[in-house]
Amino acid sequence: MSEEQRIIIISEFIEQKLRKEKELEFYEKELLELQRKIVFLRKEVDLTNTIIDLIKSDNVYDVKDAFIEKHSDRLIGKNENE
């Protein structure tokens, strides 16, 4: 094998290596973005499951009703017959 042929083969391997490194870098960035999205989706699923569990167990706290009940004596326009 001549010196020129060896140089061509080595240069092809170097080019291939550089392409693979760029491709690897691209996929590592994509993986990080996907992992970030997975974290957010898991949190959303957990929140949804919590809400479903609260509804199933009828432990939903109605802030408006609780506020009215607690401060009913201070409400303006309260019907005196109540």
Please list the pLDDT of the chain residue by residue as tens digits (82 residues): 777 777 778 899 999 999 999 999 999 999 999 999 999 999 999 999 988 888 888 766 677 777 788 877 877 765 555 4
Look at residue 80 and tell me if it is in a domain. no
E strand or H helix that includes residue 51: helix 3-56
pLDDT value for 41:
97
Angle CA(79)–CA(80)–CA(82) in degrees, nearest 5?
75
pLDDT value for 67:
79
Which pTM does this prediction carry?
A: 0.55
Look at residue 81 and tell me if it is in a domain. no
What's the number of domains the chain is made of? 1
Look at residue 82 and tell me if it is in a domain. no
pLDDT value for 69:
80
Residue type, 55: I
Look at residue 14 and tell me if it is in a domain. yes
Residue type, 81: N
Nearest to 60 by CA among 72, 52, 71, 68: 52
